[in-house]
Amino acid sequence: MNIRKMVPIIAVALSAVAGTAHASLLITLNNGNPALGGAGTFGTATITRLTNTTASVAFASSGSYFLLDGSAADVNVNASSFTLTSCTANSVNLCTNTGPGNVDGWGLFNQTTTTGDSSANGRATAITLFLTNTSGGTWATDNDVLTANSDGHLVAAHFGLCASLTSTCSVTGFATGTGGNPNHDVPEPAVVALLGIGLLGLWSARARKA
pLDDT value of residue 164? 81
pLDDT value of residue 184? 44
134 and 183 inside one domain: yes
119 and 183 inside one domain: yes
50 and 2 inside one domain: no
55 and 137 inside one domain: yes
CA gap 164, 40 in Å, rounded: 19
88 and 71 inside one domain: yes
CA gap 59, 143 in Å, rounded: 17
pLDDT mean by block of 10 residues, the chain; 210 residues: 52 48 83 93 96 97 92 96 94 84 96 77 88 97 96 96 85 82 48 54 58
| 172 contacts 160 by C-beta, under 8 angstroms | yes
DSSP state of 117: -
CA gap 208, 17 in Å, rounded: 28
Q: What are phi and psi of 148, to 5 degrees?
A: -65, 140
- As for how many domains the chain has, the answer is 2
pLDDT value of residue 165? 75
Task: Give the HSE-up count for residue 81: Cα atoms under 13 Å, Cβ half-sphere.
Answer: 3
CA gap 169, 147 in Å, rounded: 32
